[in-house]
């Protein structure tokens, strides 16, 4: 049994990650590929509890260090109980956000040291990295307009436009550093065009 593929979706708020995770799920299911769809922070009962704490605006003020550690605590559970077992049994894993989000939000947005993030990444993931990352990129204003239509903002969505510009810049830097793994998808175009671009980068993995 060969190991499954690990595919992650990344990008700022409201760029269409969840919409396109569902699209890829149907696309792969139609090709009889066994898969697990999951998300971060989250994916296990404990990690989902941590997600609730992290996203809740009414949580006590969360320090930057605590936020970073909680992201990796959730990830450690997720890898051990969901991602690794799935990949080992040959399932593909489609994950809505993963460690590139930590580089973008805690690194770019919160200005935490990249070397600290790298250290935690090695501790928690060892050699595990996605096979393919789809980075959906759109101007901050467009993503926030889409999110705004949905109602109340969570703890991250309540950050300033400046914060999200930093997040976007950090994501683009991640793509520049990892051109083999991270494929940039323009997300401010009609959904059908976004999905065609996704199929184009996904199809080499299906061969």
CB of residue 32 to ligand T5A, shortest distance in Å: 25
CB of residue 122 to ligand T5A, shortest distance in Å: 15
Q: What angle do CA 181, 183, 186 make, to 5 degrees?
A: 165
Are the CB atoms for 184 and 137 separated by under 8 Å? yes
Q: Closer to ligand T5A at the Cβ: 102 or 174? A: 102
Residues that bind ligand T5A (CB under 6 A): 11, 13-19, 40-41, 71, 96-97, 101-102, 105-106, 146-147, 156-157, 187, 191, 194
Report residue 145 as tokens.
């307009």
Are the CB atoms for 157 and 147 separated by under 8 Å? yes
Q: Closer to ligand T5A at the Cβ: 53 or 147? A: 147
Q: Closer to ligand T5A at the Cβ: 90 or 200? A: 200
Residue 203 CB burial class (10 angstroms; 0-12, 13-18, ≥19): exposed
CB of residue 41 to ligand T5A, shortest distance in Å: 5
Are the CB atoms for 66 and 101 separated by under 8 Å? no
Report the residue count for the chain.
207
CB of residue 144 to ligand T5A, shortest distance in Å: 9
Q: Closer to ligand T5A at the Cβ: 32 or 115? A: 115
């Amino acid at each position: 049994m060969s190991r499954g593929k690990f595919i992650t979706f990344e990008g700022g708020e409201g760029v269409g990650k969840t919409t396109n995770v569902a699209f890829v799920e149907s696309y792969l299911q139609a090709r009889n590929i066994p898969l697990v769809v999951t998300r971060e922070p989250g994916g296990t009962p404990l990690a989902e509890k941590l997600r609730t704490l992290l996203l809740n605006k009414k949580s006590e003020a969360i320090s930057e260090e605590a936020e970073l550690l909680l992201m990796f605590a959730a990830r450690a559970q997720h890898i051990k109980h969901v991602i690794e077992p799935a990949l080992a049994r040959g399932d593909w894993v489609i994950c809505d956000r993963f460690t590139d989000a930590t580089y973008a939000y805690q690194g770019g947005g919160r200005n935490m040291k990249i070397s600290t993030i790298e250290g935690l990444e090695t501790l928690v993931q060892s050699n595990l990295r996605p096979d393919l990352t789809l980075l959906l990129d759109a101007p901050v204003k467009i993503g926030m307009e889409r999110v705004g239509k949905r109602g109340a903002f969570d703890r991250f969505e309540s950050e300033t436009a400046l914060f999200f510009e930093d997040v976007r810049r950090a994501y683009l830097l991640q793509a520049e550093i990892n051109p083999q793994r991270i494929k940039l998808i323009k997300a401010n175009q009609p959904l059908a065009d976004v999905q065609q671009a996704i199929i184009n980068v996904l199809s080499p993995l299906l061969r």
